[in-house]
Chains A and B, each alone.
Chain A
């Protein structure tokens, strides 16, 4: 088990290392002087400031040396400095990360649970409804669903707050604060979650239909096992395996979707931060968020790998 974990951690670290290199190359790929790019619009006019930047990041030195400096920075969690906000990128992201983790985590859990519950109804009347709904959510732009649900549930019906993370100035604490945040969370999490619910329900449905035709399901029926148990124990348990793998691969999509959802609902996470950085052409922050969101995906993948090794005995954890 330890070996397995170790090899997965090593793989994750390697991926992060490569992503850091891509990140580095992206700045260099920008048209124009990298110092200008780094400064964003903040220091565009100031020649002295640009000179300082060049010295600090060694922009006058050979490329590989710059890369080394950059990687060293990453290793010590130094993601650069936002001259726009006059803060380190790491602290900017650190402030916003919990909100994003809360949102994406909730959405992921909601979608997986709902998706599987929905798929369990394969073949009943609700099956068509689910397939149709899945197709609907699959084909609708996420930001548009977010906007429309905002109109309907927040602005017209008023059952949930329109935007934000908590009621500003309410001075809640403890449980009341948690409930207040949860109340704010409902709309963004459902919007983000339902989209993935659709995807998982579709995958789970396809997977269950496939497994249902396998020989061991026939064996179970030949034993006289009741249909409900056949579905639960033999079909669902095997059908979920490919869905878990794919859910890991979809983690990146959830993080990407968070950018849109947070933008619409003014949810103070790193997605919103990315949108703000975009408007301000604050590339340091942009790349910092990009790196951290990649790291989140690596983490999600690690978790799914471990979960998978528990549900599928065929994975040789010991070896």
Chain B
């Protein structure tokens, strides 16, 4: 509770939290407000915003409702962002923890492996993976997770390495605690704050990545996504700017909100740091 208060007191992260709540509400309300598929042709094509009351954000080249697409796209973006981040954490955290704690050759090997993945241009790798496995929600999540875990590993490894030499971990060894117990009980709980902060920023990056893939035509063909909508509107940019404009704004606001919340989290969960500022 005190933590929530601290988060809200941070003004910019309160704004971020508000925007996120709205996006979440859009994702939940989309099937209720627009029970029909967002792919359905519902009106004339290229209707400007508010040209008809029914379509406050206009229609696209095939007469699909832009607002309906926008709302349905919210759940896809959030879901892919969240699941792929979770998957990246599942790869990154244990690898980083083990490498950092055991050190030596294990660490060397793990770090070379991580460096290799950091060298590969991540967006290009994501494109290749999705293209070869055929675009689907699974291949997209897999691709995003595969390109986003290295920073997690590096972060966790760094934290664990510095914690490992901390005297209270040494003390736990002298008390006779077992290694898994030390990692889980003494070390990892003290890395939770940076992991949460990084996680919230990673969701933002994942949403950007997904939209970029969709923009290039690598989205799941059954799902309406923001990136796809921007891409679909780009050939008729001058005549029908709204088709690309609004989904872009939606991505921007969501990603910005996640970044603001991430920064707020880092301050709120780190009272010591916040006080020093």
Contact = CB atoms under 8 A, between A and B. Distances in A.
Contact of B212 (A26, A260, A281): A260
Nearest to B125: A290
Interface in A8-34: 15, 18-19, 22, 26-27, 29-31
A142 interface: yes
Interface size class on chain A is 35 or more
Given A147-B237, A151-B237, A249-B118, A29 B123 contact: no
A5 interface: no
Contact of B131 (A147, A286, A294): A286
A30 B132 contact: yes
Chain A at the B interface: mostly helix, strand, loop or mixed? helix
A263 B128 contact: no
Looking at chain B, what size class is its interface with the partner chain? Answer: 35 or more
Interface in A251-265: 251-253, 255-257, 259-260, 263-264
Interface string B222-249: 0000010011001001100100110010
B248 A148 contact: yes
Nearest to A263: B216
B122 A252 contact: yes
A128 B118 CA distance: 31
Contacts of B244: 144, 147
Contacts, number: 134
Contact of B116 (A19, A29, A144, A256): A19
A293 B245 CA distance: 30
A139 B256 contact: yes
Nearest to B233: A147
B150 to A, nearest CB: 9
B53 interface: no
A30 B133 contact: yes
A263 B204 CA distance: 23
A29 B142 CA distance: 13
Contacts of A18: 116
A135 interface: yes
Main secondary structure of the interface of B (DSSP, over half): helix
B237 A150 contact: yes
A143 interface: yes
A283 interface: yes
Interface stretch (A107-115, A173-181, A272-280, A306-314): A272-280
Contacts of A15: 115-116, 119
A11 to B, nearest CB: 9
A298 interface: yes
Interface in A104-148: 135-136, 138-144, 147-148
Contacts of B124: 252, 255-256, 259, 274, 289-290, 293-294
The CB with the most chain A CB atoms within 10 A, among B215, B217, B255, is that of B215
Contacts of B134: 31
B218 interface: yes
A27 to B, nearest CB: 7
Interface of A: 15, 18-19, 22, 26-27, 29-31, 37, 135-136, 138-144, 147-148, 150-151, 155, 249, 251-253, 255-257, 259-260, 263-264, 274-275, 278-279, 281, 283, 286-287, 289-290, 293-294, 296-298, 301
Interface of B: 115-116, 118-125, 127-129, 131-134, 204, 208, 211-212, 215-218, 227, 230-231, 234, 237-238, 241, 244-245, 248, 251-252, 255-256, 259-260
